[in-house]
Amino acid sequence: MTTTAGKGRASARLWTSVPWRALAPVVVLAALCIALGLAADNFATAGNFARIATSAAVPAVLATGVTLVILMGGIDLSVEGAMAVAAVVAALVLVAAPGALGAVAAAFAALAAGAALGAVSGAIHVGLRAPSFMVTLGTWFIGLGLAVWLVGGGTVSVRDSELRVLALVRLGGLPLSVWVALGTVLIAWVLQSRTRLGRALFAVGGGEDLAAQSGVPVGRVKVAAFALAGLCYGLGAVLAVAQLGQGNAEIGTGRLFAAVSAAVVGGTSLLGGHGGVLHSLVGVLVVVVLSNGMILLGVPPYLQQAVQGLLIIIAVAVSLDRRGQGLVK
């Protein structure tokens, strides 16, 4: 009698001890993959997984950057502007300096441009105590304006540049860009979970006042997070230029929504303090697998966006921690 009740309680304890909410995105991804594997013959093939990984590389790098900012309770809207300016800078350097050395220089120039724009966002956000939403909205347009000014609105073709090895050379069946993206996520994960800066990000996201009182240099942490995020957007631009063989101010168009929704779908809280870059990687995969699957299934174009919107709502509903939240806004 007592033993059965004890067993029941134990299994109930086991059930509740599993962090379902944190695992929800992984479950969603797994369910999506199984469903698509059953519905579409070609989904679960090596070729298709390689294509999914290729499509996920740029969004994964961008989502990593956005996640660092979201973790500390901010938001970064400058993704598309930073990408535009970094892509244009990369393309211009490639045209001016051909060859392998030029490609390396172009990549570094793009990273520097992205990081600089991010640092500017962070510095204004901290220095003027302006909301990150408005500041990064501004730097989005500044980045875009710079990009337009640099190329006069044109497209710079870099079809034959050495930078393209990132997209065209494969290692283990996957383009180098996929490995670069994985490496970036890994580095960001180490940074987030194993360094003082990482702990400070969570501390600021959990409660800025408390973090400041505990001696966290909130201002410096914020500037560093925005600069690192900008670095990621610069890298995203490098991968996109390598992939598409051209650089223009439009290269980032539509990427902000994908990056932020991937972070949210992955379970990173927009309020800050919860989630992380691995969550966002899962989120990116959910978004990319879904759009791949919808094309394999022949879902009509006008339904695809609606399905993606629905997915975001479902993911948020499943993964949101509502405890201790008196007010939902």
Partner 1 sequence: MTLWRQVPGGLIRRRTLLQGMAGLAAVGAMGRPARAQDMPTLVNSIRSLSNPYHATWNQGGEAFAAAIGAPYVTLVTEGDSEKGIADIRAILQKTGGNAVINVDPNDAPDARPIVEACVQAGAHVLTQWNKPADLHPWDFNPNYVSHVSFDGVEYGGRTAQVLIDAIGGSGGIVALGGILSNTAAIDRRTGLEATLAANPNVELLDFQVADWQSGKAFDTTSAWLTRFGPDIKGIWAANDDMAIGALEALRAEGLQGQIPITGIDGIQTAVEAVRAGEMTATVFWDPFWQGAMGLSIPYHARTGTFDPAAEPPEHREFYGSATVVTTENAESFYAEHIAATPQLDFEDLWGRVSGQIRQS
Tokens representing 312? 């975001």
Smaller CB separation from partner 1, 29 or 294: 294
Smaller CB separation from partner 1, 137 or 311: 137
Cα dist. 83→43, 53, 107, 237, 289 in Å?
31, 20, 12, 5, 23
Instruction: Tell the smallest beta-carbon distance from residue 84 to partner 1 (Å).
Output: 8
**What gap in Å lies between CA 129 and CA 124, rounded to an integer?**
7
Give the gyration radius of the chain's Cα atoms.
Answer: 21
Instruction: Tell the smallest beta-carbon distance from residue 41 to partner 1 (Å).
Output: 9
**What gap in Å lies between CA 69 and CA 122, rounded to an integer?**
10
Smaller CB separation from partner 1, 215 or 254: 254
What is residue 170's three-state secondary structure?
strand
Q: Which residues form the interface with partner 1 (CB under 8 A)?
A: 40, 42-43, 45, 47-48, 51, 54-55, 58, 77, 137, 140-142, 144-145, 147-148, 152-155, 157, 159, 167-168, 175, 240, 243-246, 248-251, 253-255, 288, 291-292, 295-296, 298, 301-302, 304
Smaller CB separation from partner 1, 116 or 137: 137
**What gap in Å lies between CA 285 and CA 320, rounded to an integer?**
19
Instruction: Tell the smallest beta-carbon distance from residue 72 to partner 1 (Å).
Output: 23
Smaller CB separation from partner 1, 248 or 269: 248
Instruction: Tell the smallest beta-carbon distance from residue 26 to partner 1 (Å).
Output: 23
**What gap in Å lies between CA 56 and CA 281, rounded to an integer?**
9
Instruction: Tell the smallest beta-carbon distance from residue 312 to partner 1 (Å).
Output: 16
Tokens representing 315? 């993911």
Instruction: Tell the smallest beta-carbon distance from residue 260 to partner 1 (Å).
Output: 13
| Triad 181, 231, 51: Cα angle to 5° | 20
Tokens representing 291? 């759009």
Smaller CB separation from partner 1, 62 or 204: 62
**What gap in Å lies between CA 28 and CA 222, rounded to an integer?**
32
